């Protein structure tokens, strides 16, 4: 506690006045004998003791009232912030929230402009020599970011130049960073200003401990403890936002990303207005508007979707976006970008190890015919035949799907090449046969990644053994008894059941799907064994068909289901790669290159249109090279072209974090909990922080509190004085009561004592 007018404390000496008056009134009254009162002696003694207590209580109340008046006039103040702004040196860190939600328009002005002006008010209140640092929650780094600076003009210039970013804020991490910065300062007074809109999303998690710097442990613990107690002033910039609708997500559904194929684009909208809205959206492809939706009804705080269905009419990289028509509270979330890599035909590789004199008896004959015909003509799928020796040197990333048809266990180079292909998003489809040795295959898969658990990166599940009807005297064949109807490629063949139940199998390689919990069985035989199994591995997928694609193992190649099922599986696998080149603003873009394909650099074309060339880097402890681009603070399409290599260009769609459209706010008591043990102060009027600055300098005034105590004391004193003063009996003359604690019985101004 401190006093702004300490001279008034001298007035507390007035508390001695009631004591002096009390002592004066303690003079003893004259005693007069009165014989008939001798029986009242005992009652008189009790009354005397009670009156002394009452008089003492009244005395204390009167003293307290006078002291409280003096203390109140001295303007007592306290602060919960642990330190006061004054003439001594100060160090301040301003944490400015510039996440997407700060782009909302409150009233007539963007919320971030209000926050910027509030931060400038903090800088303007600092004295010459005070230190100040600025931390932004997102966006590109700036010079001297997070460094204490005595040149306040540098901070003003940075505040004038900074903009709203599309990133999600982590304000607890920013506060921890601010504590670390202030822990290194020797300023007497330290504060952290957090200028934010109070979005709950920005305060998820818990504050962490300051990082260790290797100092003496006791001194370090003390420093961390003191830094954690630095006052935090939260400046709330949330006011009355205008109604807002956000385009949260865009999903793409297509049998295959190729020309002539129907594609469905689903846009998800979210409205945070208090009333229902009617909004339109547009679909744009390569800079041209393709469609406009009808009015979409969006309930308050709810989601709504709309589907655009169209046919791709050209190949290559397609850049698209969904736009919201009209203006609303936040323009930053009104667009959602996406990309499509459209090919005139899906590139597929078929790997086989041997041919046959009779073409129809070759292991891959029916597979080649099925994929070559397709469902839309010969151009639907483009096949390339490879042998196992070409796997380590062939650029496998060019193929959407690789079929390995009845191969013996591969050597180490080929195994690792396929493992890298799957890890980078490729799709590997194994077809069994007489050259498939279950134990050798299991070792091959584990050899591709020695530290992996389970079946390894090349098989969806461990292989068990080869089963044949030759070993079952009473059995001619097995038939397919189950088909996964929920799989998009297999759902058309579920009804009628005779479509798949007519498939007979005479020999197959069994798998142990229970040993791979993430494996999905797409087809089972009537003995319960898995025939077709699928498993996601990193960015890619691996499938295993337990029977051969030849008539001596099964009649599947001769059944009507074979051709459409195989092509739909290819389209499905190829289409799964379309949404993978997508990220949120501020996240780096990565491209990995194997040992065979190592470009000298990568040419980047960001949404702004300029062309940037950067070199690739070698990954520590890994073969090949890695390209990493971090300047993704602008939403839009980023085109990456590897230089002097056969690796095709890649288009990335970068969008604002979809969760930023969530308007939920954090409660004040949660602020206190998350920022503990630091004292927290709230500034609810960001346009005028003078009351906050005054409170920081002067503390919290207790004048009102002491005034209430004085009023209470006066009421209590009046009550006690009236209660303890005896009333005048009827017929008694005035002046018959003498003050003082020693009175016994009274009669006309004299104390009457009983005679012996």
Q: What is the pLDDT of residues 62-93, one digit of tens each?
A: 777 777 777 766 666 655 444 444 456 889 99
Q: How confident is the model at residue 36 (pLDDT cuts 50, 70, 90)?
A: low
Query: Residue 669 above 60 pLDDT?
Result: yes
- The tokens describing 411, both together, are 């050597």
Q: How confident is the model at residue 750 (pLDDT cuts 50, 70, 90)?
A: very low
Given this model, what pLDDT does residue 68 score?
A: 72
- CA dist., res. 699 & res. 694, Å (int): 7
Strands 346-351 and 746-747: unpaired
Query: Is the CATH number of domain 245-343 2.60.40.10?
Result: yes
Q: How confident is the model at residue 124 (pLDDT cuts 50, 70, 90)?
A: very high
**HEC profile of 208-234:** CCCCCCCCCHHHHHHHHHHHHCCCEEE
Given this model, what pLDDT does residue 32 score?
A: 56
Query: Residue 374 above 50 pLDDT?
Result: no
Question: Is the model more confident about 273 or about 660?
Answer: 660
- CA dist., res. 421 & res. 428, Å (int): 8
Q: State the DSSP string of 137-152.
A: SSSS--TTTT--BS-H
Kindly state the average pLDDT of the residues 148-154. Answer: 91
The CATH 2.60.40.10 domain(s) of the chain lie at 245-343
Question: Is the model more confident about 569 or about 317?
Answer: 569
E strand segments, 168-326: 189-196, 232-236, 245-253, 262-271, 277-279, 281-285, 288-292, 296-298, 303-311, 316-324
Given this model, what pLDDT does residue 515 score?
A: 78
**CA gyration radius, the chain:** 42
Query: Residue 398 above 70 pLDDT?
Result: yes
Question: Is the model more confident about 474 or about 93?
Answer: 93
Q: What is the pLDDT of residues 344-363, one digit of tens each?
A: 678 899 999 888 888 888 98
Query: Residue 553 above 80 pLDDT?
Result: yes
CATH number of the 90-240+665-698 domain: 3.40.50.410
Q: What angle, 0 to 180 degrees and rounded to 10, lies between the N-to-C axes of helices 152-161 and 111-124?
A: 180
Question: Is the model more confident about 549 or about 312?
Answer: 549
CA distances from 646 to 427, 597, 624 (A): 20, 7, 15
Residues 6 or more apart in contact with residue 242 via CB below 8 angstroms: 104, 105, 106, 328, 329
| Percent of the chain whose pLDDT exceeds 90 | 46
Topology at the third CATH level for domain 405-575: Rossmann fold (3.40.50)
Give the N- to C-terminal CA distance of the chain in Å, as an integer: 62
Q: How confident is the model at residue 459 (pLDDT cuts 50, 70, 90)?
A: very high
CA distances from 446 to 192, 430, 453 (A): 53, 16, 8
Query: Residue 693 above 90 pLDDT?
Result: no
CB 523 within 8 A of CB 489: no
Query: Residue 492 above 70 pLDDT?
Result: yes
Given this model, what pLDDT does residue 49 score?
A: 64
The CATH 3.40.50.880 domain(s) of the chain lie at 405-575
CB 197 within 8 A of CB 236: yes
Q: How confident is the model at residue 372 (pLDDT cuts 50, 70, 90)?
A: confident
Kindly state the average pLDDT of the residues 469-481. Answer: 91
Query: Residue 94 above 90 pLDDT?
Result: yes
The CATH 3.40.50.410 domain(s) of the chain lie at 90-240+665-698
Considering only 219-223, 400-404, 562-566, which range has the smallest mean pLDDT? Answer: 219-223
CB 275 within 8 A of CB 242: no
Q: How confident is the model at residue 450 (pLDDT cuts 50, 70, 90)?
A: low
Under CATH, to which class is 582-651 assigned? mainly beta
Q: What is the pLDDT of residues 297-319, one digit of tens each?
A: 999 889 999 999 988 778 788 89
Given this model, what pLDDT does residue 730 score?
A: 54
Q: Which long-range contacts (CB under 8 A, 24 or more apart) does 20-27 make?
A: 22/55, 22/59, 25/739, 25/740, 26/740, 26/741, 26/742, 27/740
- CA dist., res. 596 & res. 605, Å (int): 25
Kindly state the average pLDDT of the residues 658-670. Answer: 90
Kindly state the average pLDDT of the residues 32-50. Answer: 57
Query: Residue 227 above 80 pLDDT?
Result: yes
């Amino acid at each position: 506690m401190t006093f702004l007018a300490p001279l008034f404390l001298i007035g507390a000496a007035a508390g001695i006045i009631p004591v002096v008056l009390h002592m004066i009134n303690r003079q003893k009254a004259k005693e007069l004998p009165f014989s008939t009162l001798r029986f009242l002696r005992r009652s008189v003694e009790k009354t005397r003791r009670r009156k002394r207590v009452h008089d003492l209580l009244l005395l204390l109340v009167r003293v307290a009232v006078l002291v409280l008046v003096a203390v109140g006039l001295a303007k007592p103040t306290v602060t919960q912030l642990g330190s006061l702004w004054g003439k001594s040196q100060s160090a301040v860190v301003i944490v400015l929230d510039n996440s997407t939600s700060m782009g909302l328009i409150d009233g007539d002005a963007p919320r971030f402009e209000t926050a910027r002006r509030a931060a400038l008010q903090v800088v303007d209140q600092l004295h010459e020599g005070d230190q100040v640092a600025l931390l932004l929650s997102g966006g590109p780094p700036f010079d001297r970011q997070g460094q204490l600076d005595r040149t306040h003009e540098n901070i003003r210039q940075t505040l004038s130049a900074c903009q709203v970013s599309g990133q999600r804020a982590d304000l607890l991490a920013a506060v921890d960073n601010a504590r670390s910065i202030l822990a290194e300062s020797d300023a007497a007074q330290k504060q952290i200003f957090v200028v934010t809109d109070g979005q709950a999303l920005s305060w998820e998690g818990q504050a962490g401990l300051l990082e260790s710097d290797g100092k003496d442990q006791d001194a370090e613990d003390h420093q961390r403890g003191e830094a954690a107690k630095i006052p935090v002033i939260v400046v709330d910039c949330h006011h009355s936002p205008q109604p807002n609708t956000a385009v949260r997500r865009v999903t793409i559904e297509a049998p295959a990303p190729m020309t002539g194929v129907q594609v469905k684009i689903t846009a998800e909208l979210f409205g945070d207005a208090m009333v229902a809205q009617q909004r339109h959206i547009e679909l744009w492809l390569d800079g041209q508007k393709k469609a406009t939706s009808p009015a979409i009804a969006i309930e308050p705080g709810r989601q709504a979707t709309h589907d655009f269905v169209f046919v791709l009419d050209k190949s290559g990289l397609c850049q698209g976006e969904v736009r919201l028509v009209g203006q609303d509270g936040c323009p930053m979330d009104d667009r959602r970008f996406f990309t499509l890599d459209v090919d005139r035909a899906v590139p597929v590789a078929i790997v086989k190890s041997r041919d046959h004199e009779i073409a129809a008896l070759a292991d891959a004959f029916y597979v080649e015919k099925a994929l070559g015909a397709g469902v839309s003509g010969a151009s639907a799928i483009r096949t390339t035949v490879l042998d196992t020796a070409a796997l380590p040197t062939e650029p496998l990333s060019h193929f959407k799907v690789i079929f390995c048809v009845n191969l013996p266990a591969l050597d180490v180079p080929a195994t690792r090449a396929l493992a890298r292909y799957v890890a980078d998003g490729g799709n590997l489809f194994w077809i069994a046969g007489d050259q498939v040795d279950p134990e050798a295959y299991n070792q091959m898969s584990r050899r591709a990644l020695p530290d992996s658990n389970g079946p390894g990166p090349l098989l969806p599940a461990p292989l068990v053994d080869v089963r044949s009807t030759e070993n079952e005297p009473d059995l001619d064949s097995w038939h397919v008894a189950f088909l996964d109807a929920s799989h998009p490629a297999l759902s058309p063949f579920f009804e009628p059941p005779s479509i798949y139940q007519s498939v007979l199998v005479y020999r197959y390689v069994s798998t142990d799907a229970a040993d791979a919990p993430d494996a999905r069985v797409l087809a089972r035989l009537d003995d319960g064994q898995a025939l077709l199994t699928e498993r996601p591995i990193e960015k890619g997928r691996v499938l295993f068909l337990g029977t051969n694609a030849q008539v001596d193992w099964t009649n599947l190649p001769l059944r009507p289901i074979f051709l459409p099922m195989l092509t739909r599986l290819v389209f499905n696998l190829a289409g799964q790669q379309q949404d993978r080149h997508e990220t949120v603003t501020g996240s780096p873009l990565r491209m990995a290159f194997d040992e065979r394909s190592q470009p000298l650099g990568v040419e980047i074309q960001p949404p702004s249109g300029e062309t940037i060339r950067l070199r690739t880097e070698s990954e520590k402890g890994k073969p090949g090279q890695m390209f990493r681009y971090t300047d993704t603070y602008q939403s839009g399409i980023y085109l990456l072209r590897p230089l002097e290599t056969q690796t095709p260009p890649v288009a990335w769609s970068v969008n604002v974090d979809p969760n930023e459209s969530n308007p939920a706010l954090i409660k004040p008591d949660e602020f206190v909990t998350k920022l503990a043990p630091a004292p927290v102060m709230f500034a609810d009027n960001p346009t005028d922080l003078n009351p906050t600055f005054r409170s920081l300098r002067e503390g919290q005034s207790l004048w009102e509190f002491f005034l209430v105590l004085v009023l209470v004391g006066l009421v209590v004193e009046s009550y006690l004085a009236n209660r303890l003063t005896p009333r005048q009996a009827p017929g008694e003359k005035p002046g018959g009561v003498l003050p003082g604690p020693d009175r016994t019985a009274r009669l006309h101004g004299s104390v009457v004592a009983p005679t012996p």
